[in-house]
Amino acid sequence: MNNPEDLVFLPLGGCGEIGMNLSLYGHDGAWLMVDCGVTFGDDLTPGIVVMVPDPAFLVEIADKLVGVIVTHAHEDHIGGIPYLWRQMNCPVFATPFAAGLLRRKLSETGLENAVPINEVKPGGEISLGPFDVSFVNLAHSVPETQALTIKTRLGNILHASDWKIDPEPLVGPCTDESVLRAVGGEGVLALMCDSTNVFVEGRSGSEGPLRDTLKKIVGDCAGKVAVACFASNVARMESCIRVAEDTGRRVALIGRSLWRIAEISKECGYLSDCPEFVDARDIGYLPREEVLMLVTGSQGESRAALSRIAADDHPDVTMSEGDTVIFSSREIPGNERAIGRVKNQLARLNVNVITEHEEFVHVSGHPARAELQDMYSWIEPPLLVPLHGESRHLIEHCKFARENGIEKTALAENGEMLRLAPGEPEVIAQVQSGRYAVDGRRLVPVDGDVVRARRRMTFSGVAVVTIVLDEDGVLLKNPILSAPGIVDGVGEDVDLHQEAILAITDTVEEMSERQRFDDDKLERAVVRAARQVFHAETGRRPNVDVHVVRI
Ligand SMILES: [Zn+2]
Ligand SMILES: [Zn+2]
């Protein structure tokens, strides 16, 4: 497939989509994995919450995998490790914060003692087979985000997945311009770079001024205030804590993931001089104007704290007229409907809602165009390879890089193996890629029979028909039909149910004896008959399963 000496890049996730990042670098017969993330299910994957990259290629290279390095603690970079662990089976390297989160995730899946996690300090170094890797501090929306300088015999790569430039990130250091300039000065073969906000002009904005605005907004609020943000955004959490101090409020954390992140943050030396958080159960004892709640559920997740508060269904927290909810987060595409539902419920409770559309209450963690230009000027790469984007982001990023003086760009979408050296960059192979759904305790392909059948069942219902035939192939009794999701067995449905059974009976009886002894033919005829009746009466063509029992 590839000359083992070559230096190749192979994304199995995150290139052609936003989420589920998994990049591989191959060289000298070894493979290094960078990140192993998840993405989330939607209407097309009923019952599926989490998806991971197709592990087929990982199984192929498992004995050559020298390790996986996690660039930061976001789900789309770290969340896949518990699910793909059996296929990877290699040491994990992460900064203390990401390692702390990963340990907790692994303990939920009973893998805490199985996975060897090695902590690397931010800015640290490790050698893994033919790869000498240096970590470089980046600002992002979670602490300890790292770029990786991957040094090989054939040249150096700078892998800068998620990052931004923020002069005042407030928690953790700024993106390390001097180290990045030095990396550029030494010369790189390629810059592998975040494409999420390539369509956004200007800069992503800074946490420092955001904190001041939040303080002003909260200062003007009369009742309880709830701030919805991603739990992992520790800088935002700290901003809320400082805002609360300055406006005479106490901070309560509502949602398990916020408590978990607060605990890991303290272990890693963040949020160290913050007052104790108030427990949800004690909020009722405080005057309303002294409450600032941090809540999970900024994306409208139905089981998260904010949805439950909005539905007036939270065991400890209520909100009412005069209270305010601030969405200090971005609306992730695909979540608009769920977020809209929460906003409508809050409106019915007469709760004020403030989002980034009305006020400056959120800054992105990804680089806008001016920040990309800064990175290009520090690194001066001869080649840019876009990461972290849908096709349109990746293609636009290539165009933008060339307009800004980068000589070459190369694009590899999930499953495409890009040779970076020697010679001109070129896609040289295609490997199996795609998504696997975490379905309970197992992994199933998202485009496979199980998920496809599940999708059809939710859209069109399912009918199961049992046919009992004697030794002459004659119906021994009426076919048995159950059709959950199509007929509920009351009212007009009783007639539909009967009609379907009659149609199936007629179909079987009209078949020749020879046909009745052929299970395949019999099943096909019964499926056709049942679907015809259902379609004529309901406009739906359900999944029909037939069981033929011969006595
Ligand atoms: Zn990401
Ligand atoms: Zn991220």
Q: What are phi and psi of 351, to 5 degrees?
A: -90, 135
CATH number at residue 419: 3.60.15.10
Mind listing the pLDDT tens digit of every residue in the chain (551 residues)? 789 899 999 999 999 999 999 999 999 999 999 999 999 887 778 878 899 999 999 999 999 999 999 999 999 999 999 999 999 999 999 999 999 999 999 998 889 899 999 999 999 999 999 999 999 999 999 999 999 999 999 999 999 999 999 999 999 999 999 999 999 999 999 999 999 999 999 999 999 999 999 999 999 999 999 999 999 999 999 999 999 999 999 999 999 999 999 999 999 999 998 899 999 999 999 999 999 999 999 999 988 999 999 999 999 999 999 999 999 999 888 889 999 999 999 999 999 999 999 999 999 999 999 999 999 999 999 999 999 999 999 999 999 999 999 999 999 999 999 999 999 999 999 999 999 999 888 999 998 888 888 888 888 888 999 999 998 889 998 999 998 888 877 777 788 889 999 999 999 999 998 888 999 999 999 999 999 999 998 888 888 999 999 99
Instruction: Give the integer Cα–Cα distance in Å for 142 and 92.
Output: 19
Distances (CA, A) of 254 to 118, 222, 326, 354: 31, 20, 14, 19
CATH number at residue 260: 3.40.50.10710
Q: Could you count the other beta carbons within 10 Å of the beta carbon of residue 338?
A: 18
Structurally, the chain folds into a number of domains equal to 3
Distance of CA 388 from the midpoint of ligand 2 (Å): 10
Together in a domain, 493 and 418: no
Residue 359 belongs to a domain: no
Distance of CA 77 from the midpoint of ligand 1 (Å): 6
Cβ contacts of residue 267 below 8 Å, gap of 6+? Answer: 96, 100
Distance of CA 75 from the midpoint of ligand 1 (Å): 8
Distance of CA 78 from the midpoint of ligand 2 (Å): 10
Task: Examine the fold and report which residue of 387, 416, 445 is the final residue of a domain before the chain moves on.
Answer: 445
Together in a domain, 65 and 122: yes
Residue 121 corresponds to which amino acid?
K
Residue 453 belongs to a domain: no
Together in a domain, 127 and 173: yes
Let me know the angle formed at the C-alpha of 175 by 380 and 193, rounded to the nearest 5 degrees: 50
Distance of CA 300 from the midpoint of ligand 2 (Å): 20
Together in a domain, 167 and 221: no
Together in a domain, 418 and 527: no
- Ligand closest to Cα of 140 equals 2
Distance of CA 60 from the midpoint of ligand 1 (Å): 26
Together in a domain, 189 and 221: no
Residue 455 belongs to a domain: no
Distance of CA 393 from the midpoint of ligand 1 (Å): 14
- What are the tokens at 330? 């971005």
Q: Are strands 435-439 and 125-128 parallel, antiparallel or unpaired?
A: unpaired
Distance of CA 34 from the midpoint of ligand 1 (Å): 12
User: Which structural domain, as residue segments, surrounds residue 531?
Assistant: 461-550
Together in a domain, 147 and 73: yes
Together in a domain, 242 and 321: yes
Together in a domain, 233 and 348: yes
Residue with tokens 């996986």: 68
Together in a domain, 328 and 370: no
Together in a domain, 139 and 234: no
The predicted structure's pLDDT at residue 459: 81
Residue 100 belongs to a domain: yes
- Ligand closest to Cα of 19 equals 1
Distance of CA 370 from the midpoint of ligand 2 (Å): 19
Query: Which residue spans within 153-247 are E strands per DSSP?
Result: 155-160, 190-194, 225-228
Distance of CA 146 from the midpoint of ligand 1 (Å): 12
Can you give the pTM of this predicted structure? 0.91
Burial status of residue 538 (CB atoms within 10 A of its CB: 0-12, 13-18, 19 or more):
middle
Distance of CA 431 from the midpoint of ligand 1 (Å): 23
- Ligand closest to Cα of 18 equals 1
Together in a domain, 88 and 18: yes
Distance of CA 72 from the midpoint of ligand 2 (Å): 7
Distance of CA 242 from the midpoint of ligand 1 (Å): 27
Cβ contacts of residue 302 below 8 Å, gap of 6+? Answer: 338
Please choose, from the candidates 200, 529, 499, 172, the residue with its C-alpha nearest in 3D space to the C-alpha of residue 363: 200
Instruction: Give the integer Cα–Cα distance in Å for 523 and 33.
Output: 48
Residue 147 belongs to a domain: yes
CATH number at residue 485: 3.10.20.580
Pair 109, 84: CB distance under 8 Å: no
Residue 134 belongs to a domain: yes
- What are the tokens at 45? 């994957």
Task: Examine the fold and report which residue of 303, 319, 354 is the final residue of a domain before the chain moves on.
Answer: 354
Let me know the angle formed at the C-alpha of 296 by 74 and 286, rounded to the nearest 5 degrees: 140
Distance of CA 363 from the midpoint of ligand 2 (Å): 13
Q: What is the largest CA-CA distance in the chain?
A: 87
Residue 450 belongs to a domain: no
Task: Examine the fold and report which residue of 445, 480, 506 is the final residue of a domain before the chain moves on.
Answer: 445
- What are the tokens at 234? 């520790």
Residue 452 belongs to a domain: no
Distance of CA 387 from the midpoint of ligand 2 (Å): 12
Distance of CA 23 from the midpoint of ligand 1 (Å): 12
The predicted structure's pLDDT at residue 258: 96
Distance of CA 522 from the midpoint of ligand 2 (Å): 54
Pair 232, 226: CB distance under 8 Å: no
